Structure 1
């Protein structure tokens, strides 16, 4: 008999006291987790290694066992040599990252093509096809583009409302590491980065601790004070050279500001930690969120598509860092319009708790899919 135990309330209380937020599954050994990641990194075959029913829709994003994934067909319909040269040509197969019409149609019909399932974000993927003039079968790799319908559904970087060259620029310049980082709060696990991050000096822990203490455990970028939550304050190397510990190369940054630094897509901040940081920023009056520029700067990046939509259609700006009492506990809200008691959240677990307190609550993906209704409720 499978016994399910929910420690979310206990975990939430521990986080508020400054404990680290570590996800652990009692039924998953390290070997099992590594096997899943290894399989996804190499590419699993839909219909053989896993079934379509095992692929979930998480905030409109495709996921498998808590991991963000992509689906694509290696076999190309057009000249394979042209696809190898430029995997973003119109005729090339696309990488699917969201629950777009192609995936929906596949689910409805119960039929799927020869899809590969992967979370490899290197950008280069195995492709096969026939040579145009000889008909020879060629296997190679190509830098495939992301499905444009997927980008529209997510409104990634405002894609849905852009026109012409600006729209094409998002498609052509998209980096998968950046896309996965944008939505990392929606997932429990993250793909292994292949690039090396560099090595710290042996005395780095001592140097970092001393520097953060000198800064009174305050983020030098947003100003949030984290003496009660020291684990959420990092020491950043400004020039990215991790052996250069000179004072003018160090900067204390909260976890949220740190992950938003250039070339930091290898870093991930847990959703609960981002909520806590915004709650503290609010309590300490570090933002007022009077305009969308500031909201976009401090909100979870997974909400960017929705916020850009709200900005375009001139909706009232939401508030960040709001939490609502639910019995002896508090429930944090990702985006809140308090006067309307309207909330947008990333995790489904937040929904029912807030609804019991009289709030109208939707997932960010639901708001994007039903934006007209959202406007009516907020205006």
Structure 2
């Protein structure tokens, strides 16, 4: 997207005040960001445009300069024609969204450079191969299936602990936009979908303000009051039709409740905002998270895989919205077991101050990778 800004009015005002005429230059870095996004969307080749060392696999998720990415191998060999018809068939090269066992093996075998990198969430990727009986090269775009080892290491939707039939359903129903939204707290930049999400009426901004005022800037779902944080309250169209502003079609929702509505996988909520909302909910006594069903409803969706495992093994439920004072600052905790002084966090920056106060602090990915060791701290 090219952004053009006209500074002529500003320059004219400066001239009237007697200021010297200077050329205004804007270097926002947008050009570089767009170049990164464009390259990823087209598919960068490891070892060529993109170096292996530039891929970050913190928290088991794959990222490049703050953007969530996927890896895949375009070459599908003699299966190419079957893959073009159904990219989820057995034997097809799969789409990787996490640092899984398959990627680790490919690194160890020195074959990692075969992967292409993309942040295109359309689900269709350029692939090629050769005809069954001839040497003709066959090319096209295929809907590739996600790697099952990736689903397992993240315990996405409880994948690792489900039956074979349930695992198959999670695999077949996998949606990249939904996946990205689930783990959005781990990334500084959120991928843009190419589909249109609809248009609002010209007076929508005022309609939204009026409606939220009528609700006293309170979320109609979880009950958190946001009069001091108005930006965290949205007006939601219940039926999904953005031009239907009838009062019975509107609902005031905090950004956390809003992003968890059906078909809202295009929304992005920062990790900091989710923590703040849970802090306010706790202060206002708006939730009782004594059961895992409650914790799963209000916790950051990026923690779902770990929470489902804790629930399965009947570990004590964590508390949400807890803040600990460290010097002059408050440190928010994603999941806390206060009596055990044990915490699970998403951001690395949360670890050091909590550890300085005597807390045992793990990242969510560490909890999943060493779950049985974690149990002894919170049983």
TM more than 0.5: yes
**1:111 Cα deviation (Å)?**
4.4
Distance 2:333 2:107 in 1: 32
| Mapping 1:1-379, distance limit 5 Å | 29-108=29-108, 111-379=111-379
Contact 1:55/1:63 (<8 A) preserved: yes
Bigger drift between 331-340 and 96-105 goes to: 96-105
**1:100 Cα deviation (Å)?**
1.1
In the alignment, what sits opposite 1:13? none
**CA deviation vs aligned residue, 1:37-84 (integer Å, no higher than 9, x gap):** 111111111111111111011211011000111100000034211111
Contact 1:78/1:91 (<8 A) preserved: no
Bigger drift between 153-162 and 194-203 goes to: 194-203
For the structure 1 residues 27 and 66, does the alpha-carbon distance in structure 2 shift closer, same or farther, using more than 3 Å as the test? farther
In the alignment, what sits opposite 2:9? none
**1:110 Cα deviation (Å)?**
5.0
The 3-state SS of whatever aligns with 2:57 is strand
The 3-state SS of whatever aligns with 1:79 is helix
Distance 1:136 1:91 in 2: 20
Max radius of gyration: which structure? 2
**1:135 Cα deviation (Å)?**
3.1
Bigger drift between 41-50 and 275-284 goes to: 41-50
Distance 1:359 1:182 in 2: 27
Contact 1:153/1:368 (<8 A) preserved: yes
**CA deviation vs aligned residue, 1:85-136 (integer Å, no higher than 9, x gap):** 1111111001111111222234445542421100111111111011113332
The 3-state SS of whatever aligns with 1:47 is coil
Contact 2:128/2:137 (<8 A) preserved: yes
Distance 1:172 1:258 in 2: 26
Distance 2:366 2:77 in 1: 34
Distance 1:78 1:336 in 2: 51
Contact 1:201/1:243 (<8 A) preserved: yes
The 3-state SS of whatever aligns with 1:276 is helix
Distance 1:37 1:190 in 2: 11
Bigger drift between 92-101 and 129-138 goes to: 129-138
Contact 1:185/1:270 (<8 A) preserved: yes
The 3-state SS of whatever aligns with 1:216 is coil
**1:28 Cα deviation (Å)?**
6.3
**1:288 Cα deviation (Å)?**
1.0
Q: Which runs of 5+ in 2 are unaligned?
A: 1-25
Contact 2:45/2:113 (<8 A) preserved: no
TM-score by length of 1: 0.91
Contact 1:233/1:252 (<8 A) preserved: yes
For the structure 1 residues 28 and 54, does the alpha-carbon distance in structure 2 shift closer, same or farther, using more than 3 Å as the test? farther
Distance 1:27 1:310 in 2: 47
**CA deviation vs aligned residue, 1:138-164 (integer Å, no higher than 9, x gap):** 001111111111111000000111121
Contact 1:296/1:304 (<8 A) preserved: yes
Distance 1:109 1:361 in 2: 34
Distance 2:90 2:309 in 1: 27
Distance 2:356 2:103 in 1: 34
Distance 1:236 1:288 in 2: 25
For the structure 1 residues 110 and 136, does the alpha-carbon distance in structure 2 shift closer, same or farther, using more than 3 Å as the test? closer
Bigger drift between 270-279 and 234-243 goes to: 234-243
